[in-house]
Every structure is written in structure tokens, then in C-alpha cells.
Structure 1
Amino acid sequence: MTHASAPVNLSPIDDINDTKASIPMLAEAVTLLFEPAEPIVKHLHSKRPFDSYTTLIDETEVFLSNADNLEHMERLEIINAHPRIGAPKANLSALSLIEQGYSAKDAAKIVSETATPSQDDEQTQATLAGLNKEYEAKYGFKFVVFVNGRPRSEIIPIMRNRIDNSTTEQEMKTALDDMIAIARDRLKKLNTA
């Protein structure tokens, strides 16, 4: 499964603010910025209008940082919407691939299924797959990190450290905080595309 047909541009903020705007239009924007997250969509729909996408992300940050706003299962739903680090590349969007250290050209090749993985890439993927299982067994949700263009191999020691030296509460907060950083970075990339 590829995401070649997934939207790659944000609708104008005025379209999202329009009282006649459908929830699916807002959901597309949320998916581009945060991954598909129904609790975020519902909250943002009730908080319209927004001056900008930056304001929309700011509102999401406030929403996610207040523990009283979400049930535990909703937090898990939001965190688990993110792809696993090291997930098969065919299942990732071009934006996710770029965030995980691939060039835009390589990301386009991968999305169109023409890239051949290197041996190092396969070894990194296998290591990350094992760490994902360990992390999820310990914490009960997916590992989320703001990769910020670093190669996936550089995430391995970060993941190992977080497995060995963190708590479930810390990890949930870190995941939600990193989701905001990811959304801000995606917005910059989408605005320059």
C-alpha cells in the first residue's frame, strides 16, 4: 500500500474555517500535519476559526498538553496514528520518509515503489523493528520522535535510551510534544512546497 494518492497540500485555512466546511476537509489537514487523529479533528472543529495553520497547531498543543482534555484511550489513538520508525517504506507517506532522513528524490522513488533497499537499510530496519516491539511491550503505544531529517540509524540509540531510562508518563508526554514539533516542521515544508 502506498500513499501516492494522499493529499500533499493543505487547503487554505479559510476553507477549513468555513462553517459549511466538512469534517473530512479538516481531517485531511490534520492527517497531513499530525497523522489521522479523530480526537484532534473533533476538538479543532469545535474551535474554528483559526487565523492560520500555526494557530491551529498552537491550539492542538494546548489541547494535548492538558491531561483533562483526553481520555487515556484517546491519547493512545493519537500517538498510535504515527507510523512506526522503521516501518516498511511502502507504508509511509513522502513527508514521513523525508522526516526519516530520505531525500525528496528518494522519497518519491520509494512512494512509487522503484527504490531498492541497501543492506545497511535492511539491517537498520530490522533493528528498529525489534526496538519497536520492545518499546511497545514496555509502554503500550508506539515510539514517536521528531526525527528532524536524521538518518534512521541515529534514532536507534535514542530509542534504546528511552526504553531503558523513561516512564510511561514521560514517554506519553514526549510523544505528544514531538507530534507538535513534527506538525510545525511539516507546516514549514508544506508552505515551501
Structure 2
Amino acid sequence: MSAYTLPPISSISGLSNNSKIELLNHLFEPCEVLQKILLTNVLGSENAKFYSTYKQFIEVSRKELLEYLKLEKSSPQYDENISKIISAHPRLGANKSKIGNLSIHSQKEQQSLLQASREESEKLSDLNNLYESKFPGLRYVVFVNGRSREVIMANMVERIRRNNIGLEKVDSINAMCDIALDRAKKLGAKL
């Protein structure tokens, strides 16, 4: 999938900032806002934390992102930053020409969705459009984990009908962290 290998978990607090950013970009989608939050509060030297597993590191990252989400109510900047973090993930089933370059991880994770029939692709595109109009600034994020297009689209419809942007943000952050756990495992980490 990728020539990148995760560094030993015991060494991540001592990595250079560029190496930490590379690590975050492989576990999560590249996003400057996410990088800043996690570099400062999870990987920062002033907060030097030593993690015994990548699972522990990702769960601390999840907690930090969910805490950041709570701050959102205090400032429009927080709301914009949460949107940037969530929208760093590509649309489900969208081809490269419509969303720019997919990360190597997203390409692999979305392989089955990218091979949909024209009808399924159009339905997924319509659902993406509906979701994004219902929740401006967000993108539907879910841990696919081998689930079929039909199951994913049913979940998407359910979340659109639920019509709760606060829960969408929480579900998206949790999905991003579930994806990061899966990526860590695929990159050789023992969770």
C-alpha cells in the first residue's frame, strides 16, 4: 500500500516536526489545522508524552479532537477549523478528477466505492451533495471497513435524516480516528 513505515511508538516524541507531520499525514488525511492541534497537544515537546502503543496515541488524539470540538461553540474560528479537519477527508466514491489527489490510503480504502456502476456512482454523488447541503462545511466521513456501498449509503441517508450537525461532527471525528487505527495496523503497528 505504502512504502512508509511507522516509526517505533517509543520514538515519536523525539521525532522532528517534519517527521511528526509525515506520521500524522499517514494516519489521518493531511490537514494543517489537525497537525497544529495534535503537534501542540499530543506530540508537543512541552507536553512530552510517551505512548506505549499506536492505539494509545490515536485514542489520546481522539480525545483531544473531541475536546477541541467542544471549544467550537466559543468562536467561529473553531467551527471553521473543525470543518477543515473533517473536510480533509475525500468524498466517498468521488474520482480523483472531482476531488484532487486522494492519499494513497484513501485510494485503497475507497477502491470498492470507486469501482461502482454508473448508477451507484450517481446515487453516491447525489447523497454526497445532499449531505453537504444539509451540513455546510462538512464532508460525510465513515470508516468503511469492508462494508458494502448499500450499507454505507443507508448510513449516509440515516445521518442526513437525523439532521444533527453536532452529532455529525462527533461521528466524523470518531470515524477519522477509527480510520487512523486501521491505517496504523496496516502500516505495521501492533495495537
TM-score, normalised with respect to structure 1:
0.76
User: Secondary structure at the residue paired with 2:43?
Assistant: helix
The CA deviation at 1:13 is 3.1
Change (3 A) 1:166 1:60: same
Check whether the contact 1:36–1:81 (CA below 8 A) recurs between aligned residues. Answer: yes
Determine the structure 2 residue equivalent to 1:49: 49
Determine the structure 1 residue equivalent to 2:7: 11
- Write the mapping of 1:112-151 to structure 2, written as runs, cut at 5 A: 120-140=116-136, 141-151=138-148
- The superposition leaves residues 125-177 of structure 1 with CA deviations (integer Å, 9 ceiling, x where unpaired) of 22211111111111011000111122334311111121122311111111111
Gaps of at least 5 residues in structure 2 are 73-77
Letter in 2 for 1:22: S
The CA deviation at 1:101 is 5.6
| 1:92 and 2:94 are equivalent in the alignment | no
- The superposition leaves residues 6-48 of structure 1 with CA deviations (integer Å, 9 ceiling, x where unpaired) of 7633233344321xx3322111111111111323322333244
Check whether the contact 1:63–1:69 (CA below 8 A) recurs between aligned residues. Answer: no
Change (3 A) 1:38 1:7: farther
Check whether the contact 1:7–1:28 (CA below 8 A) recurs between aligned residues. Answer: no
Change (3 A) 1:188 1:179: same
Q: Distance in 2 between matches of 1:32 and 1:136?
A: 25
User: Secondary structure at the residue paired with 1:191?
Assistant: coil
Letter in 1 for 2:103: S
Letter in 2 for 1:28: E
Check whether the contact 1:86–1:129 (CA below 8 A) recurs between aligned residues. Answer: yes
Determine the structure 2 residue equivalent to 1:29: 23
The CA deviation at 1:121 is 3.0
Change (3 A) 1:73 1:50: farther
Change (3 A) 1:159 1:56: same
- Structure of higher RCO (CA pairs closer than 8 Å, 6+ residues apart): 2
- What is the CA RMSD across the aligned residues, in angstroms? 2.6
| 1:185 and 2:182 are equivalent in the alignment | yes
TM-score, normalised with respect to structure 2:
0.76
Determine the structure 1 residue equivalent to 2:75: none
Q: Distance in 1 between matches of 2:161 and 2:86?
A: 20
Check whether the contact 2:29–2:103 (CA below 8 A) recurs between aligned residues. Answer: no
- The superposition leaves residues 71-93 of structure 1 with CA deviations (integer Å, 9 ceiling, x where unpaired) of 21221111011111012157333
| 1:169 and 2:145 are equivalent in the alignment | no
Q: Distance in 2 between matches of 1:124 and 1:24?
A: 40
Alignment length, in residue pairs? Answer: 172
**Residue identity (%):** 34
